[in-house]
Structure 1
């Protein structure tokens, strides 16, 4: 978990192996802190407890978030972020300065410090 600790910015959405950048002006972040994740999905914020790493799999408890409505770009990014994290388990791959989180359905997020 140590290599993941701290704040990360989502700089790409992964679908079918392709990475798409976030729309201009939309910012999403994920922070890993002492067994917990904090998420800002582009509009709403949330968190989950019980974050554990086993090999290259991260498992965490239910993700709880605020429920504000934002513009279409922010909501599209938020939907992608919460879809990836919403199952409570992702695999991760470190590639230089980037980390890719992927859920069981193959949807993913590329993160950078």
Structure 2
């Protein structure tokens, strides 16, 4: 694909100055946790960690991607807030939060302008 793209196309493709950042997360629940406790945790997670920080979550109950709820990038402060919230929960035995990555093309490097 050509690298000399118009501004409109760069915006449509979410590349270069329009790159959007998010982060991946991977959690493991304690083995003795009931389905009701997992459901309650997920409800709390979506309300207190995701919605409260203006974010969206795409994924399952143990792995997913967190992006901004509107066009744009997740900030390092938002990523840290979600990580702290997850690490403060007793239901989890493991929490892994990735650094910020390109939300549309995870293999791409992060631009300095993003």
TM-score, structure 2 normalization: 0.29
Question: More helix per residue: 1 or 2?
Answer: 2
Which is strand-richer, 1 or 2?
Answer: 1
Work out which structure has the larger RCO, using CA pairs closer than 8 Å and 6 or more positions apart in sequence.
2
Structure showing greater radius of gyration is 2
